[in-house]
Amino acid sequence: MRAPEARPWPRPWAVGYVMLLLLLFRAAELVPRVRRQSGYTPDWPSLDSRPLPSWFDEAKFGLFVHWGVFSVPAWGSEWFWWHWKGEARPDFQRFMRDHYPPGFSYADFGPQFTARFFQPEEWANLFQAAGAKYVVLTSKHHEGFTNWPSPVSWNWNSQDVGPHRDLVGELGTALRNRSIRYGLYHSLFEWFHPLYLLDKKNGFKTQYFVRAKTLPELYDLVLSYKPDLIWSDGEWECPDTYWNSTEFLAWLYNDSPVKDEVVVNDRWGQNCSCHHGGYYNCQDKYKPQGLPDHKWEMCTSMDKLSWGYRRDMAMSDIAEESEIIAELVQTVSLGGNYLLNIGPTKDGLIVPIFQERLLAVGKWLSINGEAIYASTPWRVQFEKNTSVWYTSKGGDVYAIFLQWPGNGVLKLKSPVPTQLQR
């Protein structure tokens, strides 16, 4: 007979100080000693001077995957736990009363996150067919559940609870077998972790949570999985000095096993967004009005109202194929990368409507990818009062038509023909 499923610490965790001290001591063992003799120093002028690895700018199109315990209630959004307990929103409280027994906790969702139908090879095949050059998986969202056997997330990780699998590792292997770059999303903070709440109470003048959780997790992810990209999030309540971000990034750029190829975003402290980091996200679904002077990425979700899978999703909430392709073209024309999100189910399935959209994008890219991959912005990004967007590559210029004029005649004003072209 199988032993009862272990549960994570209840929220709020009734954990003695002895356990927390043990966690701190254990975490200290996991952080490598920095031996910095040369290279980048732990300050933004130095770190921001690092050239962006070329693979990222050439990739142009990536896929985002939000997957975790929030995929179990699958209602509202991946912020379910916060809306239910943090904000005590009546609609989420009513949902729990109507569908779950009294006393049911968020921790009770953990064993139901089974991933029983998760086939990483099938996911990788789909992502390849979609034309994605990189994929970013949530290694840990704000709920704190880790999709790998993190030694500092005892009893609240995918090896101990639910799938009993290393989801991060399995997907990474499948993607790399297809030469798809692998990125890991990681939330710096956790909504209800007692050490984070203690630091918050102390005005973030202490760093118990950073030393016990954040930094050990980041080092573990890099050393165990060697990601091509680290997509940081959950930074907004504290400055980068609380997170020790510059120290970590200096190690990442100087001494880590991915120091030459790794790419990071800009979410390393409340003072960093759109100012510091490898490339800029600035904000979710960011759309600049003109051509930025720094590499950027637009992250958006196929489900317009959520990043995680939700059962209350309506067809009208899902981006149309034409919308996705238009956003991709506009983003690339303005020098950005396009990161499109999907949310799998708790079982590890990608629902058919998401598959259909991904395959449609892949079909379009199979024909028009020459104008997208490894392209650069042209001197003119779009024709005013038309749906024409431009990209360039070498000596070639590509005019991408999102809609054909009703009269069947399209005049391009921006290209200037030379004598040889007349």
Residues 120-132: tens digit of each pLDDT: 999 999 999 999 9
- Cα angle: 313, vertex 314, 315; to 5 degrees: 125
Of 27-36, 71-80, 153-162, 226-235, which range is least confident? Answer: 27-36
Q: Decide if pLDDT at 409 tops 90.
A: no
- Strand, coil or helix: 181: strand
Residue 4's pLDDT band (cuts 50, 70, 90) = very low
Residue 106's pLDDT band (cuts 50, 70, 90) = very high
Q: What is the pLDDT of residue 406?
A: 82
Q: Decide if pLDDT at 6 tops 90.
A: no
Q: What is the pLDDT of residue 225?
A: 99
- For residue 43, the tally of other CB atoms under 10 A from its CB is 12
Residue 21's pLDDT band (cuts 50, 70, 90) = low
Q: Tell me how far apart the alpha carbons of residues 278 and 230 are, in angstroms, rounded to a whole number.
A: 10
Residues 337-372: tens digit of each pLDDT: 999 999 999 999 999 999 999 999 999 999 999 999
Residue 3's pLDDT band (cuts 50, 70, 90) = very low
Q: Decide if pLDDT at 163 tops 70.
A: yes
Q: Decide if pLDDT at 418 tops 80.
A: no
User: Which residues have CB under 8 Å from 319's CB, separation 6+?
Assistant: 300, 302, 303, 304, 327, 357
Element (H, E) at 243: helix 240-243
Residue 7's pLDDT band (cuts 50, 70, 90) = very low
- Cα angle: 406, vertex 408, 414; to 5 degrees: 100
Q: What is the pLDDT of residue 386?
A: 81
Whether residue 73 is preceded by a cis peptide bond, meaning omega within 30 degrees of 0, is: no
pTM of the model: 0.92
Does residue 62 contact residue 337 with C-beta atoms inside 8 Å?
yes
Report the percentage of the chain scoring pLDDT > 90. Answer: 85
Q: Decide if pLDDT at 5 tops 80.
A: no
Mean pLDDT in residue range 378-405: 92
Q: Decide if pLDDT at 20 tops 80.
A: no
Between 80 and 35, name the one with better pLDDT.
Answer: 80
Q: Tell me how far apart the alpha carbons of residues 344 and 65 are, in angstroms, rounded to a whole number.
A: 7
Does residue 342 contact residue 350 with C-beta atoms inside 8 Å?
yes
Residue 24's pLDDT band (cuts 50, 70, 90) = low
Mean pLDDT in residue range 302-310: 99
Q: Decide if pLDDT at 420 tops 70.
A: no
Which of 108, 100, 114 lies closest to 68 in space, CA to CA?
114
| Domains of the chain (ranges, CATH numbers) | 17-30+40-371 (3.20.20.80), 388-421 (no CATH)
Mean pLDDT in residue range 213-242: 99
Q: Is 72 exposed, middle or buried (0-12, 13-18, 19+ CB in 10 A)?
A: buried
Of 167-171, 201-205, 331-335, 381-385, which range is least confident? Answer: 381-385
Q: What is the pLDDT of residue 13?
A: 43
Q: What is the pLDDT of residue 411?
A: 84
Report the percentage of the chain scoring pLDDT > 70. Answer: 90
Residues 32-56: tens digit of each pLDDT: 765 555 699 999 999 999 999 999 9
Mean pLDDT in residue range 131-146: 99
For residues 328, 330, 331, 334, the Cα torsion angle rounded to the nearest 10 degrees is 150
Q: What is the pLDDT of residue 244?
A: 99
Mean pLDDT of the chain: 93
Q: Decide if pLDDT at 416 tops 50.
A: yes
Q: Decide if pLDDT at 192 tops 70.
A: yes
Q: Decide if pLDDT at 259 tops 70.
A: yes
Does residue 115 contact residue 165 with C-beta atoms inside 8 Å?
yes
Does residue 84 contact residue 316 with C-beta atoms inside 8 Å?
no
* Range picked from 17-26, 236-245, 380-389 for highest mean pLDDT: 236-245
